[in-house]
A and B are shown apart, each in its own frame.
Chain A
Amino acid sequence: MNRLTTFVLIVVVAFAVMGATTPSLLNNTNLGLDLKGGVEILYEAEPIIEGGVVTKQALTQTAASLEKRANKGGAGEPEITTEGKDRIRLKIAINTGETEQEREEALNKIRDLMKRPAELQFRSASGCEDGSYCKIEMYGSDFKEGSAGIQYDELNRPVVRIEVKDKSLLAEVSARLIGQRLAIFLDDELKSDPVVQTALTDGTAVISGQGSRAEAQSLADVINLGALPLKLSEKYTQTVGATLGKQSLQDTLFAGVLASVLILIFMIVFYRLPGVIACFCLIIFVWLLLGIFLLMGATLTLPGIAAFVLGIGIAVDSNIIQAERIRDEIRSGKSIASSLRAGAKNSFRAIIDAHITTLIAAAVLFFMGQGVVKSFAIVLMASIIANILTNVYLPRVFLSMLIKSGRFNKPSLYGVKESEIHAL
């Protein structure tokens, strides 16, 4: 097949594929809270009991319980991670409410919900008229921290064994409630309601009736969490109203698209044929970058968009270095085909060195940074990788296809005047 036809075919197919997939790529890209509205809070956890320590276990359990609470509070896709030894980062998007005020209220409700320490209660139904568990008999803090564990009874069924701080309290409660149920509540949610079998005088209780080991483990976790409640205080918060977030997204996208169009025009005017090829490769680059985001499950934030635009800048630079070099080679009197070969080869080193230095800076940001800094770094690194794939090799391949077709041999197509060419 003719090389020119091949090239045209590639262009047509590429645009068809990109055109077909871009809408779904854009729709599936995760937007950061700064672009869609929501709240990000960095909590610092402190033990409620004086002199207590924040253990890794307590922290992860607190994070898990926050996630449950957020889900129950109607927040869509809460993202909760632990950071360092005593921090929890929480991100929640606002997606309920018609007006800005309603959304604000929904947000406030969730924030209130989050800050309450996990409260574990043991309740009985004694004296309750409607048969509910209304009388609080014991609190999570009555139990020894981290003492809940799994044992197996004589029939090899998993049971949860817990230990109290004050033997007499458990003895009194259990003696009074023999034959009745003692319900375990976490955050007002019923976890289990075993029947008290005997008076417990040795300070330990065994909760049976757990179906599986996993079930028993989760009950033990609940009790341990309740026995070691952490108090959370907000150290850093960012709340963005949904309207403001959307406005930021629109403004920045507009700026990005405008910048891209101007850059493409500049490239075509200045570099002619290599410029056109560069534009084609740049469009593929942007498409590929969106795809990489989606595969990584990365979240696009405002600084991420800034890094994206800079990524385009870096990609343009690769094209410029290569196009300039090809021009130089043409001026030195080489044929177009050998100018391409020499130009591509000679510019490769400079391009790779430049990319690696930027990659070093991005990697440092990634490992050092948190929050916005991290998302900026991720986009920058992804764009460098996408760039090496699409803007270092691809322009060379396309250009050589066109040149070999024999129709693009005029130096003016490369922005070189005949008078500038030296005799070899």
Chain B
Amino acid sequence: MHFENRKFNFVHSSKKFLIASLLITIIGIVAVAFRGLNYGIDFSAGTSMDISATKVFSKEEIEQFITGEQFGDYTLTVSENRSTIRFKEALTEAQEKQIKSDFATKFDPNASFEVNIVDPEIAKEQENSALIGMAIACIGIVLYVSVRFEWRFAISAIISLVYNAFFVIALFSIFQFEVNLPFILAVLTIIGYSINDTVVIFDRIRENLRFTKIKTNADLDALVNKSLWQTLSRSINTVITVLIASICLFIFGSSAIKLFSLAMIFGLISGVYSSIFIASQIWLYFKKKQPLKKVAVKAPNAS
């Protein structure tokens, strides 16, 4: 155990990290409260129209064209030969056809369109079912972890999981990136992933508990530190590989999954952080409250 002294002591610095996490959370709450989330049409209704033209047009040209169509408020982003228009209103079928045929006659008969129209009623419904889905997923995971481990692990895991999901939501609020259905998919995947990470670490802690005699709180600290170090290279390498995938999708993938990939990138990094600096530390906090004698006696008997 000589190497413990040379390596970074996670437990020793845990207070700083917990305070930092708390600060981040507060900043996030403020951001979400004041800036809110930039809901995409999936949750706020409206029309999103992606036009991929075979020629390049200036932003002014397209702007003039859409203003001329008079379909209400819109936002426009133009990149090379691809433009995205977002209308506040859910366009009717006739309006959709009109804008397509007008664009074809005025600019480019071979333009390819992707149009999404979401009715307010459906938007509300999708938002609700997304929230309920997230809640149920969390409950399912907590129950599983409680059964496989113990309640302390489950509570710590859920706190870090909620932090993690919130971190990504807060970043999307700060940068005002669009929140749409793929974003929800990303948050759920992040929850799945960060719980993976947490479970692997907890599994190691549990295993080490079986083979270590715990007499003092310091022993417990050392055990958590040791477990974190043992799983660290796995945690980092796993994140690197999934990051490689997410970054590739973000840079080269279709624009429809760009935000999904971006949310994944944020979530993956915060996931490792929260497993190490939040989940394990909170577990340690709970464990120290438990009478020491019990800690030593009560060894989980898995496998």
Could you list which residues of chain A lie within 8 angstroms of chain B, going by C-beta atoms? 34, 37, 42, 99-101, 104, 108, 111, 115, 234-245, 247-249, 251-252, 254-256, 258-260, 262-263, 266-267, 270, 302-303, 305-307, 309-310, 312-314, 316-317, 320-321, 324, 328, 345-346, 349-350, 353-354, 356-358, 360-365, 368-373, 376, 380
Contact = CB atoms under 8 A, between A and B. Distances in A.
B134 to A, nearest CB: 8
Contact of B254 (A115, A252, A353): A252
Contacts of B264: 310
B245 interface: yes
A220 to B, nearest CB: 33
Contact of B181 (A312, A357, A372): A372
A316 B253 contact: no
A236 B181 CA distance: 13
B116 interface: yes
Given A239-B113, A251-B253, A358 B185 contact: no
A254 B114 CA distance: 21
Contacts of A303: 182, 185, 257, 260
Contacts of B93: 111, 115, 234, 237
23 contacts: A115-B93, A248-B255, A255-B252, A262-B244, A266-B241, A302-B256, A305-B257, A306-B182, A306-B257, A306-B260, A306-B261, A309-B246, A310-B264, A313-B193, A321-B200, A346-B207, A349-B203, A349-B303, A353-B203, A356-B144, A357-B144, A364-B188, A380-B189
Contacts of B193: 313, 358
Most buried by A among B109, B115, B199: B199
A357 B118 contact: no
Given A312-B245, A321-B234, 16 more contacts: A99-B109, A236-B122, A252-B252, A256-B245, A258-B252, A259-B245, A270-B237, A302-B257, A306-B182, A316-B241, A349-B203, A349-B302, A353-B203, A361-B191, A364-B133, A368-B136
A263 B241 contact: yes
Contacts of B192: 357-358, 361-362
Contacts of A234: 93, 117, 119
B101 to A, nearest CB: 8
B248 interface: yes
A235 to B, nearest CB: 4
Contacts of B302: 349
Contact of B109 (A100, A244, A349): A100
Interface in B1-60: 50, 52
Contact of A313 (B136, B182, B233, B242): B242
B141 interface: yes
Most buried by A among B110, B145, B196, B251: B196
Nearest to B231: A324
B13 to A, nearest CB: 24
Please tell me the size bucket of the interface on B. 35 or more
A368 B129 contact: yes
Contacts of B231: 324
Interface string B142-154: 0011001000000
Interface string B119-135: 10110000001001100
A78 B206 CA distance: 53
A361 B141 contact: yes
A369 B126 CA distance: 9
Contacts of B220: none
Contacts of B233: 324
Contacts of B100: 104
B244 A259 contact: yes
B196 A358 contact: yes
Given A310-B189, A316-B238, A368-B129, A244 B253 contact: no
B295 interface: no
Nearest to B256: A302
B248 A361 contact: no
Given A104-B100, A369-B129, A244 B204 contact: no
A251 B252 contact: yes
A80 B247 CA distance: 36
Contacts of A237: 93, 96, 115-117
A360 B141 contact: yes
Contacts of A363: 140
